Amino acid sequence: MSDRLEQRLFWAFWALLVFSAVVRLVFFLQLRGTDFAAVPLLDAKTYHEWAVQLVGGDPGWNQTYWMGPLYPHFLAVVYLAFGVGGEPVFLIQLALSLLNVWLVRDLARALLPGHPHVKIIALLAASLFAFYGPSVFYAGTLLMAVVTTTLFLVTARRAVCAAETPTVKNWFLLGLMVGVTALSRGNVLLLLATLPLLLWKPLVSFNKRKMVGALLLGGVLALAPVTIRNLVVAQDFTILTSNGGVNLYIGQKADYDGLFAPVMDEAQAEADHSMEDTLQREFGRELKGSEVSRILTRRALDLFVDDLARMPAHYALKAYRFWNGYELPQIVSYDHWRWRFTA
């Protein structure tokens, strides 16, 4: 690659960052003062109320974490520093979404070392992400999308580093990042089992047991404070969250064609989304979060077995919904709001 082309690509990337920053600033100015920014809805309302509770010094006595704890604690830190309100959060998340453009470029360059057109490819990747509307829009909500994306990109970069230089330190740091990211999205924990398989080839010449052990140790250390908190505050051994059972349960309802299935027939505002209160009335006693999860897991397996003939088609539909980007209705919809915010 010629020096002139390399210089042009360098300045093109910085122009992209400047343009992306302007778009995010315009979006913030359009967003501030609107009811959409002032009134958290659905999941955003839950995160906001949780953060306010934490700011007030209440860790949620007798309750295990039901949702990933990282994002509400992030909100609580911002609220402590700048006061309760969305605008400082939105500005930080917009800055993170701009950082993510750089992280995408860096990841693309790391994935293709030595490729003759790696810098062009990396610029294209960063441009595609910079112009991706939802990455800007969700920065203006009290939702974890932007923060989780940042964590995912950093984790992916650590995975490349661990594959290129398989040292105990690099695999430990990779495990640590997987664990931290899992505090936001619990299903990321699957990476602790799958990364050794995905990155098996680079480990051929190295001590696999040490690397895998370092990976698991990093993940365990990241999760340990949450597990200990659940033991101390809720007297319940729950590694991360106790919502696995209800998610499995609603996932087996074939009548909904792979779309979102409510846990009960009541209206959204009246529904018991965790089913904890419903099961406590049914059993006539208080239940720990882990007990609720185990009960619903058993019922999910019963639903699966009882409707076994329909399950192959049901799971095919679920896979289709996943890959075509279907947006769950309980999350704020980008497609609905994009007309309001022209940025």
Average pLDDT over residues 36-60: 86
For residue range 2-30, what is the model confidence (pLDDT) as tens digits?
A: 778 778 888 888 899 999 999 999 999 99
Compute the chain's Rg from CA coordinates. 22
pLDDT digits (tens, 9 = 90+) for 134-172: 889 989 888 999 999 999 999 999 999 988 888 889 999
Q: Looking at 26-40, 56-70, 150-164, 190-204, which range is the least confident one? A: 190-204
Q: What was the pLDDT predicted at 338? A: 80
Mean residue pLDDT of the chain comes to: 86
Cβ within 8 Å of residue 317, ≥6 positions away: 257, 258
pLDDT in tens, 117-127: 888 899 999 99
By percentage, how much of the chain surpasses pLDDT 70?
92
- CB count, 10 Å around CB of 293? 26
pLDDT of residue 257: 77
Say whether pLDDT at 222 is over 70: yes
Kindly tell me if the per-residue pLDDT of 59 is higher than 60. yes
Query: Could you read off the pLDDT of 175-195 as tens digits, one per residue?
Result: 999 999 999 998 899 998 888
Residue 322 pLDDT greater than 90, yes or no? no
State phi, psi for 64 to the nearest 5 degrees. Answer: -75, 160
Q: What is the pTM of this model?
A: 0.86
Q: Which residue has the tokens 């122009």?
A: 15
DSSP 248: H
CB 299 within 8 A of CB 250: no
